[in-house]
Amino acid sequence: MAAMKCFECQYELCETDPNVKTCDNAFLCYSTTTWSPLKRIYEYNKGCIPDRHHQQLICGTKLSKINDTHHVFYRSHTTYNSYCCQQDLCNDWFPKIIDNTSKTASVNNEIVNESAESGVGVMFVVYIMAAIFIIMTVIGVIVFRLRKKHKQKMSHLLRTGLSTTNVEKSSNDCTYNEGLRVTAAGDSTLREVFEHSVTSGSGSGLPLLIQRTLAKQIHLEECIGKGRYGEVWRGIWQSDNIAVKIFYSRDEMSWNRETEIYSTVMLRHENILAFLGSDVTSYNSCTQLWLITAYHELGSLYDFLNETPLDIKQMLSIIHSIVSGILHLHTEIFGGLGKPAIAHRDIKSKNILMKDTYNCCIADFGLAVTHTQTTGKLDVAENHRVGTKRYMAPEVLNQTLKSDIFESYKMADIYSLALVLWEVVRRTRIDGCFEDYCVPYYNCVPNDPSFDDMKKIVSIDQQRPEMQENYKSNNVLLQLEKIMRESWSPNPSSRLTALRIKKSLLKISDEDTSLNV
């Protein structure tokens, strides 16, 4: 298809700008109308769609033929209508929203009017629409049955422990626990969005045009978590579950930092929480800062360990996925689409999410610091938040951390990682027995320890979490104990790197082929 020229404008410029602007090399032209209930105004956009991926997101996949050369794609919602066409400068009008509460988009009415003006009888149109409705119903039933059958198959594979690696390798992103999703051809799913982002080397989630109106398209279903920063909700976007982290306005710096980190090129990784976008919206005259990500129904590693004891294979797989995510953060990628090295600064079990019963992904980058070796730039964002005191490294507690050296932040991450490894290993069955879940230093400090409490235990007394005696009877746990002891050393320069830990885990797995991490 030859590239097209389209009209281009945004918001109020579409009504007030006397100079008509155009864009070139379009795959399709589009115009959109969005009703803003809060502002009580219509917002308009025109422009070029560069490729088929953006067509699915902006226009949907509904196709109607007006004449032999003019085809229209459209998406209809109660507050959003789009019109996409395949001719030069064909987006010279805006689709109408007849009734803000109506469930029927005006694009259908426009197409019916075109057909009526062409001499097609009203009854004929009714018959055609009825036939289309019946066909779509049949297709919907078929898709529903296929999806249900596929879910059953994936559940069976996950129970037998055979599918985890295969699903992750085939999807190459941070998708749902149910694996690949069966949909009608051309439907835009979260998996397709993430997969496109991976193949393009992106870390920025959805295109900026979509992020601007993302909050208007999301329906919040239930609150699934609260913290000092705000709340986390499960929402629905285009029939998919997504997670919405809503920041309090006082924590705008954390929202800015997380958005900035998630937008880092080449950040996307199977063990980093998948990012859709961020948006600013208003509720009851209060500004809300939204961060939209993939949703994982098993919750955090903290929640999972509270409920579930682990076998050795499962424990090793979980640890391996956590270390892989941190290694990807700590590693700088050089080149045109490179990535700075990133230190998390708040590694803990509550900031690690369970993708499935064998794999995790790292979340919450509100305190992250970045470093680019080629320029020497160290970017430590200003933020009133501090890390979680229970997981703070001794050099952070005694304030000897070298804040101008990036390696210092990485080694502080390794100390926190060692405490998380201790939490996971402690919940592992050994000869049929397992310990209750406990947080690090549960027997030394209160539930909400102060900075001074942790400083005395960790820096002054140099205490560390207790190891179980029965670790010595198991070669795997004995080697993991050695990794933990080296990783929480009081001397930062003596700690293992994430790469060294990952290699050690793979060596443990190679020594026992039944583990197969």
Active site residues: 346
- For residues 300 and 347, the answer to whether their CB atoms sit within 8 Å is no
What is the C-alpha to C-alpha distance for residues 221 and 437, in angstroms, rounded to an integer?
A: 30
- What's the rounded Cα separation, in Å, for the pair 204 and 267? 8
Contact 261, 161 (CB under 8 A): no
Report the DSSP beta bridge partners of residue 246.
231, 290
Which structure tokens are listed for 439?
A: 């947080």
DSSP codes, 94-157: ----S-TT-SS-HHHHHHHHHHHHTT--HHHHHHHHHHHHHHHHHHHHHHHHHHHHHHHHHHHH
Beta bridge partners of 220: 235
DSSP codes joined into one string, 65-90 = ESSSS-EEEEEE-SSEEEEEESSTT-
Residue 208 in tokens: 């900026």
Beta-strand runs (E) in 269-331: 275-283, 286-294
Rounded-to-integer distance, Cα 133 and Cα 150, Å? 25
Q: Give CA–CA dist 405/387, Å, rounded.
A: 18
Burial of 317: CB neighbours in 10 Å, binned 0-12, 13-18, 19+:
buried
Q: Among candidates 220, 263, 212, which has minimal Cα distance to 244?
A: 220
Q: How many CA atoms lie within 13 A of 119 on its CB side?
A: 1
Q: What is the DSSP string of 311-322?
A: -HHHHHHHHHHH
- The torsion defined by the Cα of 338, 344, 350 and 356, in degrees rounded to 10, comes to 20
